[in-house]
Amino acid sequence: MQPRKPEFLLYMDESGSRDPDRHPRQQTHSPDWFGIGGILVKATDKYSIEAEMDAFRMRWPQMGTHPLRSYDIRNKTERFRWLSQLDEASLTAFYEDLTAMIAGLPIVVTGCVVDRPGYNQRYLQQYGPRRWKLCKTAFHIAVERAAKFAMFHGARMRVYVERSDKVTEKQLKGYYDEMRQAGQPFNVQTSAKYQPMPANQLRQTVYDFGVKTKESQLMQLADLVLWPICRGAYVPDDRAYGLLKSNGKLLDAHCTPANGLQGIKYSCF
């Protein structure tokens, strides 16, 4: 009997609108993206990660049981309005503690970010209203690159997306089923340089799809790291992005010419 393969868990959140025509902006230099991504972790590390997050929460009892949300924390709004009441030293301590906690976790940050103006410039004239939603491109790329990482480590991978609505969840599950059945949907000639995984490898590596709410602590982590990797495409010196990079948390840190792995994808930039 063969030993059971190790497992990786991919937790993915979304940032921005999926619709290529949503809120078009005249200034192409303005950040306007759709991103999907988050964290890739060993299944055996799940409980230790949750324990570290519990310890962080205990150090900041003002949080109560409310999920960590990047938007609320950055803007000191909703359940994190209490941050605006802290003095400067305490606020700095909170952000530094949060950063140190994330930097110390055994996670790999991954994803795909699509620039909306660039996407429309490339595909609008050719495909018009038949253009894919940005989530289709991003989902396929993000999952495949994580799967390549898992396969390189002799592991299988489960995929979890954040709870949204039935239509969106059905759409994502459709992308998942499609790639396992037929492989990647991209043009064979133009995508050849990326060495797409064939369907049989995807089926052997990616074997489960699930939905998690923000009650999941690892889904909260996915939320926290997605914004920096999206913003980092436009502002490379963004502090949060730079900290992820300098601490070796990005998938890119694991990619070498020898292993053929591919890092976070920035599409149509």
Q: What is the pLDDT of residue 49?
A: 98
Contacts of 8 (CB under 8 A, 6+ apart): 40, 41, 42, 43, 146, 149, 150, 153, 155, 156, 157, 158
The two three-digit tokens of residue 208, written as one number: 């489960």
Alpha helices per DSSP H over 62-198: 70-75, 88-103, 116-127, 134-152, 166-182, 188-191
Low-confidence ranges of the chain (pLDDT < 70): 1-3, 23-29, 130
Q: How many CA atoms lie within 13 A of 57 on its CB side?
A: 14
pLDDT at 130: 66
From start to end of the chain, where are the E strands? Answer: 7-15, 33-42, 108-115, 156-162, 206-212, 265-267
Q: What is the pTM of this model?
A: 0.93
Give the model's pLDDT for residue 29.
55
For 199-253, the pLDDT digits (tens) are 999 999 999 999 999 999 999 999 999 999 999 999 999 999 999 999 999 999 9
- pLDDT of 108 reads 98
pLDDT value of residue 23: 59
pLDDT digits (tens, 9 = 90+) for 171-182: 999 999 999 999
